[in-house]
Structure 1
């Protein structure tokens, strides 16, 4: 495993990490979760990603139970939670958002569900237009100073909102966000590569990227239709299927154009897609979301595949994406 600093912090996270979004408590039960986390940890993964809203808190409960059952040393792994959407269906006004109250309540609830004394990373899952950014920065600063959170960050905030959080932290002598968790993959690049470009150098922001395989689209398994047992075949994720595939089929055509490049390298398309993400020096860690051990074992090979992506191969990929 390769370990990278989380931006300008001193924390080192595994270049490949493992997350619970849309899998834990749905596609993945307790026995599978135990096998997956054990496999990831045995391969050097030291960051496990979660959020209050994932399966209404059950994903955190499952992850916390499994990690405790495996008796992983607390000082050998990092775990995250995220606050904004709430952990209950139809949340009351105080059960979601980034108010000081919900940030505090959600943190303590995540600690209980994950069965830890502190969160290594705590993300503001989205920006909250109903809460002043200063209020949220103050709440996060307090949690860090109390020792309940080691590093706080944002997820899918606009660059201007992140800039504002840093400005307010500087003016009020508060702890600023250390990382952002954006979507980043071969099909979704603009925000990470353009909008956030100045943030990496100016503030040393780390990144924990999600959906590196575009929810499976970049594995090629949807090129000939949607398998019934796949994530996009699940009724609860019809919204995801619509947003990823669209109506014109252009994204599938792009994926199909990448397949020959992977074939020429002798690797699966998924491995190529993950390796491409790893090549970006502003990526601190790539969050994997495998629901089977065979998937996870395959995806963990992306580190070796990254060495195959020389300038010529990267040029071919760029050309395929530009069609």
Structure 2
């Protein structure tokens, strides 16, 4: 069911309309009480118009899928109103990678864990260099033909790998991918704003972007350049967060503090939170189909959902001020007939 307070966009060149904000349960299943907490998040999202829910077999090695499936059963929601996706990984589930054998088994296991007959989108969760891409795409198409999935996509594939997917599908008359799931936020821009642009233009590729607030670094809680006490404790994602922090703040602390405090001042002027500003900036990009949210506290989720309204305040003048603060607009590609830079994508 659509909500007037939510914006919806088509996912690539498909007929799927997805909420511009979506919910991912990557952190579900890592401790006691997470199932009820996840249900509260799912229920709140659905009541606010979110219809896109993302998970993966790798999250909690299947536990996150189980939790999400139980959440849907608990809420008794209309399956037709929901867009549910999962991702199959090349590692962590034995030696078979993304082979025909493993994908055939994996989709059945995922559907069983989620208590579903089908998923709307099935992703290849990273490129598998040890399995011919043609083999993986062939079985994905068979899964779609058997109605266990309706569409498929890639996650963290390079532009060259995605182009190869389209070439293989064109050669064999197979269903091509409609979406790429990639990292995109104020600190990480090149792949969406430069590298994938030919794919957007040629194939109408959609994007379901993850970590739109860079693991929370853009939320306002790190504006002094330091990591709050306890942030690196008892988390399976400590290494990933530390990598983000070292790259975007730790290695350039003085400049990062200036950028973050500048964003906070601008958010105050707009009457929103810094987290809402960062998230609304992501979904302002028309090449973003949906931004996948996470939450560690209820009020964080409430705040994130308000980003749709804040997006309306991002006038060209405000966007220009953000560019001045970030100072990291990707160098545009060249128009080789005129030898002039192509205009910025945003």
Question: What band does the TM-score fall into relative to the shorter chain?
Answer: over 0.9
TM-score by length of 2: 0.88
Does structure 1 retain, via aligned residues, the 8 Å contact 2:90–2:128? Answer: no
Measure, in 1, the Cα distance between the counterparts of 2:184 and 2:170: 28
Structure 1 residue 25, shift from structure 2 partner: 3.5
Q: Give 1:115's aligned residue.
A: 115
Q: Give 2:338's aligned residue.
A: none
Residues 159-308 of structure 1 aligned to structure 2 (within 5 Å):
159-224=159-224, 225-230=226-231, 232-246=232-246, 247-248=250-251, 249=253, 250-308=255-313
Structure 1 residue 205, shift from structure 2 partner: 0.8
Q: Give 2:331's aligned residue.
A: none
Measure, in 2, the Cα distance between the counterparts of 1:295 and 1:245: 20
Structure 1 residue 114, shift from structure 2 partner: 1.0
The range that moved more, 245-254 or 164-173, is 245-254
Measure, in 2, the Cα distance between the counterparts of 1:251 and 1:17: 28
Measure, in 1, the Cα distance between the counterparts of 2:203 and 2:275: 32
Query: Structure 1: any 5+ residue segments left out of the alignment?
Result: none
1:233-284 superposed Cα distances (whole Å, 9 cap, x missing partner): 4453331232111142254543233222112212111000011011100111
Q: Give 1:17's aligned residue.
A: 22
Structure 1 residues 135 and 285 mapped into 2: Cα distance closer, same or farther (>3 Å)? same
Measure, in 1, the Cα distance between the counterparts of 2:234 and 2:320: 36
Structure 1 residues 157 and 27 mapped into 2: Cα distance closer, same or farther (>3 Å)? farther
1:174-215 superposed Cα distances (whole Å, 9 cap, x missing partner): 111110000110001101111100111211111111000101
Q: Give 1:79's aligned residue.
A: 84
Q: Secondary structure at the match of 2:68?
A: helix
Does structure 1 retain, via aligned residues, the 8 Å contact 2:90–2:98? Answer: no
Structure 1 residues 32 and 238 mapped into 2: Cα distance closer, same or farther (>3 Å)? closer
2:59 to 51, 54, 60: 54
Q: Give 2:145's aligned residue.
A: 145
Count of residue pairs brought into register by the alignment: 317
Does structure 2 retain, via aligned residues, the 8 Å contact 1:123–1:155? Answer: yes
Q: Secondary structure at the match of 1:131?
A: coil
Measure, in 2, the Cα distance between the counterparts of 1:26 and 1:139: 35
Query: Structure 2: any 5+ residue segments left out of the alignment?
Result: 1-5, 329-346
1:81-138 superposed Cα distances (whole Å, 9 cap, x missing partner): 101145x5xx4202xx211112111111110111100011111110111111111110
Does structure 2 retain, via aligned residues, the 8 Å contact 1:25–1:62? Answer: no
1:43 to 39, 48, 51: 48
Measure, in 2, the Cα distance between the counterparts of 1:306 and 1:24: 32
Q: Give 1:4's aligned residue.
A: 9
Measure, in 1, the Cα distance between the counterparts of 2:187 and 2:32: 25
Residues 97-108 of structure 1 aligned to structure 2 (within 5 Å):
97-108=97-108
Structure 1 residues 110 and 228 mapped into 2: Cα distance closer, same or farther (>3 Å)? farther
Measure, in 1, the Cα distance between the counterparts of 2:128 and 2:236: 25
Does structure 1 retain, via aligned residues, the 8 Å contact 2:57–2:110? Answer: yes
User: What's the C-alpha RMSD, in Å, of the aligned pairs?
Assistant: 1.6
